[in-house]
A and B are shown apart, each in its own frame.
Chain A
Amino acid sequence: ETGVTQTPRHLVMGMTNKKSLKCEQHLGHNAMYWYKQSAKKPLELMFVYNFKEQTENNSVPSRFSPECPNSSHLFLHLHTLQPEDSALYLCASSLQLAGALTDTQYFGPGTRLTVL
């Protein structure tokens, strides 16, 4: 149990749908992250938030829209996705500000997204 939860665990959506992924951390951490894990590819960092402020957008298409209302919650809003966006989306959090030397990220179980 790492204290990072994600809902839903599985999501199937059409290309015209709008859906949101939710992440919640119960660890009192200050930084939160979204990663994408596609089959046969390394994990790719998408977004980083420090104290609710976005500090990194790793050239992610605008059809992915993150939201961080507070340090404990992180959302990923999805709209007009493509089949190639099908992947496991992982949320992570860390105690320190992202980039601090002793920063360790703890991950949630992920949302398995399928875009039809």
Chain B
Amino acid sequence: AQKVTQAQTEISVVEKEDVTLDCVYETRDTTYYLFWYKQPPSGELVFLIRRNSFDEQNEISGRYSWNFQKSTSSFNFTITASQVVDSAVYFCALRRNNQGGKLIFGQGTELSVKP
């Protein structure tokens, strides 16, 4: 079965703290893609990153970084020096190869960054 689990339903931090959002996935496929999306209160899902199953290099983009660990089936997302504008719901998603574009989403983690 294909599944994405985001165990943290809600996280609250104070501005400038670092925060890590966890994502654990299940798949038997050898080829797949993992995604992170951000959903601010406006509702639109904003694409953050796509990572294929053969690329385990960690990635950094400004204050955002992603840690892909195939051995533990995890794709965690860290925000460094969080800001109030980072407040949103963050979704991790899995897409299998040749599955008609279907994204399997986790439940989402609601991040609240307080000033």
> Do A and B associate with each other?
yes
A interface, by DSSP: helix, strand, loop or mixed?
Answer: loop
Could you tell me if A107 and B50 are in contact, using CB atoms closer than 8 angstroms?
A: no
The answer to whether B101 and A31 have CB atoms under 8 Å apart is yes
Q: Which residues of B contact A43 (CB under 8 A)?
A: 91, 103, 105
A90 close to B (CB within 8 Å): yes
The CA-CA distance from A56 to B42 in the complex, in Å, is 28
**Chain B interface bracket (under 10, 10 to 19, 20 to 34, 35 or more):** 20 to 34
Number of residues in A with C-beta < 8 Å to the partner?
29
Does A42 contact B106, Cβ atoms closer than 8 Å? yes
Those 5 A-B pairs whose CB atoms lie nearest each other, nearest first:
A98-B101, A107-B45, A109-B44, A110-B43, A42-B105
Distance in angstroms from B41 CB to nearest chain A CB is 11
Residues in A with CB closer than 8 Å to B106 are: 42
Using a CB–CB cutoff of 8 Å, the interface residues on chain A facing chain B are 2, 31, 33, 40-43, 45, 48, 55-56, 58, 88, 90, 92, 94, 98-99, 101-110, 112
Q: Is B64 an interface residue (CB 8 A)?
A: no
